[in-house]
Structure 1
Amino acid sequence: MALLLFSLRHVPDDEADDIRDLLAENTIDFYETNAGNWGISMPAIWLRDAQQHEQARLLIDDYQEQRRIFMQTEYDRLKQSGEAPTFFKNLWHYPAQTILFIAAIVLVLYLSPKSCKHYT
């Protein structure tokens, strides 16, 4: 019976490729499912042999810890050099999108107390 190993929903392509390569290099038998045409299915990596689960999980956990350290270091470098994304940089580079998001937030906040009055 197949065993879910790694969900691919919201996983960057480079990370998914690294996980596939890691499993292939360590001869772990797996297959992959995609999200389907409408994106409602489960994109994931599944193990064919449940006995390989512990080994695969250890490999992925180690990889993700190394990736976390690398990404944190990279973010710290961007922050020190002033290249890290901030609210004002987003406003400058994507003014329409940022203003639209702010308007949506304000609309939700405005409508939320009004809809609660029906329940009191």
Structure 2
Amino acid sequence: MPHHLMNLRHVPDDEADEIRALFDQHQVNYYETPPSFWGISMGGFWVHDDQEAERARALLDEYQRQRFQTQRKAYEDQIARGESGGLWFMLRRKPVRTLAACVVILAIAGVSLLPFIRIG
């Protein structure tokens, strides 16, 4: 029975390439299905064998722990350099774009909630 190891929806290309290289390096017998354009199928990495699935999951767990630490450090470095931040950061850097996005979000929320407001 196939074992689904990892969903590939919203996975960056560099991460998928690194996982492929990891599996090839450790000779994991896997196959891959791509995610569909419309989001109907999730795609992912798969194996057939139970033992191979355990070995691949252990490799994936270690890889994802290392990737998390690397990405977290890169994000913290960006914040320390003043290259990233939250809403206030975006408001200072690109005020027109940020305010326009907020107005659009409020307009969509208003149109979406209008039928429910009219009921009462």
Common fold by TM > 0.5: yes
The answer to whether structure 1 residue 31 and structure 2 residue 14 are counterparts is no
Alignment-derived partner of residue 87 in structure 1? 87
Segment of structure 1 superposing worse, 32-41 or 50-59 = 32-41
Shift of 1:16: 0.7
Match of 1:6 in 2: 6
Pick closer, same or farther for the CA change 1:73–1:95 going to 2, 3 Å.
same
CA 1:113–1:48: 2 relative to 1, 3 Å: closer
* Partner in structure 2 of residue 44 of structure 1: 44
When the two structures are superposed, what TM-score results if normalisation uses the length of structure 2? 0.80
TM-score by length of 1: 0.80
SS at match of 2:32: strand
**Residue matched to 1:70:** 70
CA distance in 1, matches of 2:95, 2:16: 28
* Residues 95 and 31 of structure 1: CA distance in aligned 2, closer, same or farther (over 3 Å): farther
1:91-110 matches, within 5 Å, as 92-93=93-94, 95-96=96-97, 98-110=98-110
SS state of the match for residue 32, structure 1? strand
1:65 and 1:45 map into 2 onto residues whose CA distance is: 18
Compared CA separation, residues 16 and 88, structure 1 to 2 (3 A): same
For these two proteins, the number of residue pairs brought into alignment is 119
- The offset of 1:101, in angstroms, is 2.4
2:45 is paired with a residue whose SS is strand
Deviation at 1:35, TM superposition (A): 2.2
Structure 2 unmatched ranges of 5 or more: none
Shift of 1:103: 2.0
Moved more, 15-24 or 40-49: 40-49
What is the identity, as a one-letter code, of the residue corresponding to 2:45?
Answer: I
Residue 22 (structure 1) aligned with residue 51 (structure 2)? no
- Residue 38 of structure 1: CA displacement? 4.1
Task: Give aligned-pair identity as a percent.
Answer: 35
Q: CA-to-partner distance for each residue in 1:26-72, whole Å, 9 max, x for gaps? A: 11111111124544322211112222111111110111111111111
Moved more, 26-35 or 43-52: 43-52
C-alpha change, 1:39 and 1:81, in structure 2 (3 Å) is same
Aligned Cα RMSD in Å?
2.4
Local SS of the residue matching 1:53: helix
